[in-house]
């Protein structure tokens, strides 16, 4: 009876480790999928700001009445452009484990030990990458806010 309980506990622990690994692995892949969408937003913001700035500079000499508001608007749009560029730049992401090293280190180890270590490695990689992704999110969001502020001030300079 005691041997069955020990075996059941061991099986439950192995199932739990495997489950934790699958959840973390799915989460890491979901983050990298979201990363592509964030890059797309940054490139869209970059293009939008470029188009808006080209239109504004085409109209500048004829229609600007309040130069200070216009300069604030242009500065905000340039800041948005810079933030979009910075959020779109290539970053080095932690993609653990490295297949060759992983194979060499874990070839002769037990299944349980391999899954435990892989789960811990993925969790650490996720934590490190999450900080970089948060910075990217913040830059895109602030870039969008700067675009809205810039457009507002440019149009305000045209009507005042």
Token pair for residue 81? 């452009």
Across 8-147, where does the E strand assignment appear? none
Query: What per-residue confidence (pLDDT) applies to 110?
Result: 78
Residues 32-44 have a mean pLDDT of 83
| Residues 25, 28, 32, 33, Cα dihedral to 10° | 60
Q: Centre a 10 Å sphere on the Cβ of residue 97 and count the other Cβ atoms it contains.
A: 15
114: containing domain: 2-159
Residues 1-15 have a mean pLDDT of 69
* First-to-last C-alpha distance (Å) of the chain: 87
Contact 151, 48 (CB under 8 A): no
Alpha-carbon radius of gyration of the chain: 26
Q: Is 74 left (phi over 0), alpha (psi -120 to 50) or beta?
A: alpha
Query: What per-residue confidence (pLDDT) applies to 78?
Result: 93
Which pTM does this prediction carry? 0.71
Place of tokens 């099986």: 11
Count the domains in the chain.
1
8 or 136, higher pLDDT: 136
């Amino acid at each position: 009876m005691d041997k069955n309980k020990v075996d059941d506990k061991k099986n439950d622990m192995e199932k739990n480790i495997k489950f934790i690994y699958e959840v973390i692995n799915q989460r890491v892949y979901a983050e990298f999928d979201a990363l592509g969408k964030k890059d797309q937003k940054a490139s869209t913001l970059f293009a939008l700001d470029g188009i808006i700035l080209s239109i504004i500079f085409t109209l500048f000499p004829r229609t600007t009445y309040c130069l200070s508001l216009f300069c604030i608007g242009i500065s905000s749009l340039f800041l948005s452009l810079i933030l979009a560029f910075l959020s779109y730049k290539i970053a080095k992401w932690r993609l653990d484990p490295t297949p060759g090293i992983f194979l060499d280190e874990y070839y002769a180890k037990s299944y349980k030990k391999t899954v435990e270590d892989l789960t811990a490695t993925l969790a650490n990689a996720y934590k490190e990458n999450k900080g970089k992704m948060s910075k990217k999110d913040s830059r895109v969001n602030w870039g969008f806010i700067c675009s809205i502020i810039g457009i507002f001030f440019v149009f305000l300079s045209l009507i005042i």
